Amino acid sequence: MRQSPASARPYKPPERIQYLDSLRAFALTGIILVHFVLHFQLPFDHAFDQRQTTAIDTWTFKMATFFLVGKMYSIFSLIFGVSFSLSQERMASEPTAFTNKFGYRTLLLLGFALTHNLYYYGDFLITYAVLSPILLIGSRISTRILLVSAVFLLIHPFQLLMIILQLASPAESLSAEVSYQTLPHPSGSMEASWATSILTVFVNRWNEGFITQTAGLFVLGLYLGRHKVLLSNNAVKWILSLAFFLFSASVLYIIRRYLETLALSESLTASSDLYLNHLFCFFLAGTYVSLFIVLWIQFGSIQTFLTQFTSFGRMSLTHYMFHSAVGVFVFGPAGLGLAGRIGFASAACLGLGLIVIQWAFSQMWIRHFKHGPLEALWRNATSKLCQLSSRR
């Protein structure tokens, strides 16, 4: 039977996929909340530490570290890879133009990141900008190699090698945690902080396994986007996915608790726990994504509620950079200096308050503009650079 023109037309994803924006918003709110709970990890006088003075503070810290830390970044990184794949598909007929556009977007993202790093050394946008070329490389390789590459990165081969070396010669090997603690904390003048923080953050995140984790999630997101996995409305498959990820996360949690009972060296215990924590974060993030999609597919009322957060997800760059500016002012010595002076629970309330304000702002903004302030700047600057490039 001959195909009709409509059926023969190649698939083109919609301009916006609402639940991806909602999922991005979910991940970003988790990141913001974690930053506030942890006081943006800004230095303070530990002799006057007031962060954990009540049972509510202890509970807040434990809940945030167990359910949010590492998991929200994992979801955000995965979506970054998926978004790249969808953008590439929209410009499939213009591969050279897409490569140029993505290159300029990455360069501008690095500019945003360097600006952001002037006032917040914990920025992860630099990592995203530096690792983005991996997506271009991945877009040119076969699906099988892409999947193998994602798995290879997500098993953290370098950290696994470190553990093996520690088992072979425990007296001579340093754990990733020990290596991390030897690095200086960016402090002092703005110039010294900015000059040292970028290198410090990269080395710290390499030791923590954040670099390989992010790269692996980028590649996995590219793979999922290429196969349109996240566009599937098959509830049964997502329920099975939910069960698999939840079971895997539970097994890893049990293993981590069991290792605490063994008489291992402090160095080996730290490295093993760090390694298993990366795997735990990945599988718990997979649990969240699967649950999110199941709820979106199966329950119309929940889908309607989650749709209210799409505007927040569409303005993720604006909200991310703004929340850190507010956080550094609230907790930093140049502002209110509340780092270490309020409890984890109080800090969480401040974070939730800011999230509500940002959500309300995004709802109002999107009614009048298609893109957020920084998103529009990013998009327009990219277009200008592409136009200038095409004139040469």
The 3 state secondary structure assigned to 266-323 is: HHHHHHHHHHHHHHHHHHHHHHHHHHHHHHHHHCHHHHHHHHCCHHHHHCHHHHHHHH
Work out the average pLDDT over 37-48: 82
Q: Is residue 45 part of a domain?
A: yes
Please give the structure tokens belonging to residue 318.
Answer: 């604006």
Q: Does residue 378 lie within any of the structural domains?
A: yes
**Could you identify the residue written with the tokens 């598909």?**
89
Per the structure, the count of domains in the chain is 1
Local confidence band at 2 (pLDDT 50, 70, 90 cut-offs): very low
**φ, ψ for residue 86, nearest 5 deg:** -65, -40
180: containing domain = 26-391
Does some domain include residue 7? no
Classify burial at 362, counting beta carbons within 10 Å of its beta carbon; exposed 0-12, middle 13-18, buried 19 or more.
Answer: buried
Average pLDDT, the chain: 85
pLDDT value of residue 197:
61
Task: Find the range with the poorest average confidence among 48-57, 119-128, 142-151, 189-198.
Answer: 189-198
Residue 111 belongs to some domain of the structure: yes
- Within a domain: 10: no
Q: Which residue has the higher pLDDT, 74 or 230?
A: 74
**pLDDT-above-70 percentage for the chain:** 87
Note the pLDDT tens digit of each residue in 44-69.
777 677 788 889 999 999 999 999 99
Contact yes or no for 386/97 (Cβ under 8 A): yes
Does the residue 14 lie in any domain?
Answer: no
Query: Which pLDDT band, with edges at 50, 70 and 90, does 170 fall under?
Result: low
Write out pLDDT tens, residues 294-335: 999 999 999 999 999 999 999 999 999 999 999 999 999 888
In a domain, 362, yes or no: yes
Q: DSSP class of residue 189?
A: S
Calpha distance 217→81 (Å, rounded) = 7
Task: For residue 4, tell me if it sits in a domain.
Answer: no
- Residue 361 confidence class, pLDDT cut points 50, 70, 90: very high
